[in-house]
């Protein structure tokens, strides 16, 4: 049976609200949770970007059962991989074993702030592979020194290391990222329900491992309001990964999505309160073979109504998939 997750919407709220929402998501019986790790929102209408790792620490203390995961952290520009390893190990201890470390090659939107440039995609993936290797080495304990193509590590060690290091998920969008995920990852992360990604992941060593997808939705009893909110805050999502990874700021996303109409968004994102439509939107991930799907409710001020509705209607319907 597919597991259904909740996304902490840090681009749509300040730092305190996602923790309160996660407590409610745990109470509603969501199976797991994820959180994005941004320095910018995609659009100014979203309006927020608190530091995800601080939110995660608070969430670990406020909840007791629900698993936590970054979706995703880029371990190559804003953060050195040795720092990521320390943060992830600490989160695994704080959460008492509920944390998974989701990693990806990043978006210019978030990584440009350190002024390190934005190389071609194949270079970013090479950096990701090297970074994951460093993190894996630090998770084994002892001292680590590394002098590679992209990173240097000098006599590093994790002094607080959990007995079971956090599983590592790798975000994929093509064959090269699937190769990295299959070789180094404990699970696959994707934002599109493409079966060929799972096939490639399995061919590179990921057979039998978990796969996590993500789906934006816009619940509201007033469907017109749901469509308007989805268009206002998530029209950028229709641009596709190859475009979205390159854009440097909210103005770029707004410009790229300037011709996207509300009806275009409504065709791509389930809107309203028709449970059947939401179930059918999740089904392509299930049919492709994904084992987990995280839902993103659009609208920071609409999380509590969504969570109440999910507990009463949506989660029971999705349990039948």
Active site residues: 38, 107
Residue 240, phi-psi category: left (phi > 0), alpha (psi -120 to 50), beta (remainder): left
Instruction: Decide if 204 contacts 183 (C-beta within 8 A).
Output: yes
Owner of token pair 């791509």? 268
Instruction: Decide if 218 contacts 269 (C-beta within 8 A).
Output: yes
Q: Is 96 exposed, middle or buried (0-12, 13-18, 19+ CB in 10 A)?
A: exposed
Distance CA(108)–CA(289), nearest Å, equals 30
Which CA distances in Å does 64 have to 70, 99, 100, 293, 298?
Answer: 18, 12, 15, 21, 25
3-class DSSP assignment, residue 272: strand
DSSP 68-103: EEBS-B-TTTTS-HHHHHHHHHHHHHHTTS-EEEEE
Q: Is 120 exposed, middle or buried (0-12, 13-18, 19+ CB in 10 A)?
A: exposed
Q: CB-side exposure of 17: number of CA atoms within 13 Å?
A: 17
DSSP 31-71: SEEEE---SS-SSTTT-----HHHHHHHHHHH-SS--EEBS
Distance CA(133)–CA(207), nearest Å, equals 20
Closest alpha carbon to 50 in 63, 61, 36: 36
Owner of token pair 């989160």? 91
Owner of token pair 């909740």? 6
């Amino acid at each position: 049976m597919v597991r259904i997750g909740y996304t902490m919407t840090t681009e749509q709220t300040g730092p305190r609200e996602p923790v309160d929402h996660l407590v409610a998501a745990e109470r509603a019986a969501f199976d797991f949770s994820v959180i994005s790790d941004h320095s910018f929102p995609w659009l100014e209408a979203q309006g927020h970007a608190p530091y995800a790792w601080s939110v995660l620490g608070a969430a670990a203390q406020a909840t007791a059962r629900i698993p936590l995961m970054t979706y995703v952290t880029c371990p190559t520009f804003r953060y050195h991989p040795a720092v990521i390893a320390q943060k992830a190990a600490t989160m695994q201890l704080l959460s008492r074993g509920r944390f998974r470390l989701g990693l990806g090659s990043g978006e210019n939107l978030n990584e440009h702030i350190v002024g390190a440039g934005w190389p071609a995609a194949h270079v970013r993936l090479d950096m990701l592979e090297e970074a994951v290797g460093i993190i894996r080495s630090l998770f084994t304990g002892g001292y680590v020194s590394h002098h590679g193509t992209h990173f240097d590590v000098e006599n590093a060690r994790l002094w607080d290391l959990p007995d079971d290091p956090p599983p590592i998920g790798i975000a994929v969008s093509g064959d090269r990222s699937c190769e990295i995920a299959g070789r180094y990852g404990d699970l696959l992360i994707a934002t599109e329900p493409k079966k060929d990604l799972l096939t490639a992941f399995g061919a590179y060593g990921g057979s039998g491992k978990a796969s996590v997808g993500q789906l934006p939705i816009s619940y509201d009893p007033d469907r017109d309001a749901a469509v308007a909110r989805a268009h206002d805050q998530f029209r950028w999502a229709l641009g596709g990964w190859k475009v979205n990874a390159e854009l440097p700021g909210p103005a770029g996303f707004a410009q790229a999505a300037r011709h996207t109409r509300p009806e275009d968004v409504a065709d791509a994102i389930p809107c309203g309160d028709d449970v059947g439509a939401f179930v059918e939107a999740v089904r392509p991930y299930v049919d492709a073979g994904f084992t987990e799907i995280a839902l993103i409710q659009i609208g920071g001020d609409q999380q509590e109504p969504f969570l109440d509705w999910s507990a009463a209607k949506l989660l029971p319907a999705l349990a039948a998939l």
